[in-house]
Amino acid sequence: MSRVAVVTDTTAYLPRELAEANGIELVSLYVNFGAERTEREADIVDYDAFFAQLRAADQLPTTSQPAVGDFVSVYEPLLEQGRDVVSIHISGGLSGTVEAARQAAQALDGKGRVRVIDSETGAGGIGILALVAAKAAQQGLPLEEVAERVAGARGDLKIWFAIDTLEYLRRGGRIGAASAWLGSTLKIKPILTVEREMTPVERVRTSKRAFERMVDYARQRQAEGADAWVVQHIRSPDQAERLADRCREIFGNEPLWISEIGPVLGVHTGPGLLGVGGVPRHWFG
């Protein structure tokens, strides 16, 4: 067992088997269906039904961060085992999750044994950083050096995603700087990244062009030596597999993982997302 435990949240959308194999603990965010029902994201497994409901909704579900007690219930047993904790979470510019994690750490730990890290990114970017931390922990690095490796990897991390429409971001209030694109008379396919908040990259006119831009970004990552990569999607498995095939040709290796982004981020982006990103493999040790 590693001396340092790694915690992240469900918005990383790490495949469950990958998280378990690397000892990564997950804290769930929540989806709120009006006043009558709240569900843990981790418990929503029927994505077909969820996104069908989302498409038909007059009023979108809302999302909420984990409670401080959710973090306490994960941190406390790890600390009791004598382990330190690195806890890496969705950008504080998008969610209060990282602040809830900090409050839990302060409540439990007066000796600096829980290090909470704002990833300043989302989805696969968080997952990559959590996996970097897990590999560092498995190599026996102490808490401070695990955190330093995560910080270094974050500096080299880039991730992009294309979405069908800005409408869900607008309705959910997470549009950030991409609000400058609202009101355009053109039907566009926005390409965004997360650098603390949703950040616009470019606009293209068709889904085909958006796909090819994802391929171009993969080539850019490869040219920069970032050869550890992921592909993620929402309700677009065929497109994701096509993109992964192109990335295999570009990078000459297999992805860290391919996964579907789930309800919490899906509420804000809508279905049809396709994303790619990565870091240099040396950050995994």
SS (H, E, C) 216-237: HHHHHHHHCCCCEEEEEECCCH
pLDDT, tens digit, 9 for 90 and up, residues 132-170: 999 999 999 999 999 999 999 999 999 999 998 776 666
Per the structure block, which two tokens stand in for 153? 């990897």
| pTM, two decimal places | 0.93
CATH fold for domain 4-32+64-155:
Rossmann fold (3.40.50)
Which CATH number among 3.10.310.30, 3.40.1030.10, 3.30.413.10, 3.30.1180.10 corresponds to the domain 158-284?
3.30.1180.10
Q: What is the pLDDT of residue 177?
A: 45
Q: What is the pLDDT of residue 170?
A: 66
Q: What is the pLDDT of residue 64?
A: 95
What are the structural domain ranges in the chain? Answer: 4-32+64-155, 158-284
Residue ranges of the chain whose pLDDT lies below 50: 177-178, 180-182, 185
Q: What is the pLDDT of residue 196?
A: 84
Per the structure block, which two tokens stand in for 273? 């997302």
Q: Where are the alpha helices (H) located in the chain, listed in sequence order?
A: 16-21, 47-56, 68-80, 97-108, 124-138, 143-156, 167-172, 207-223, 237-251, 263-269
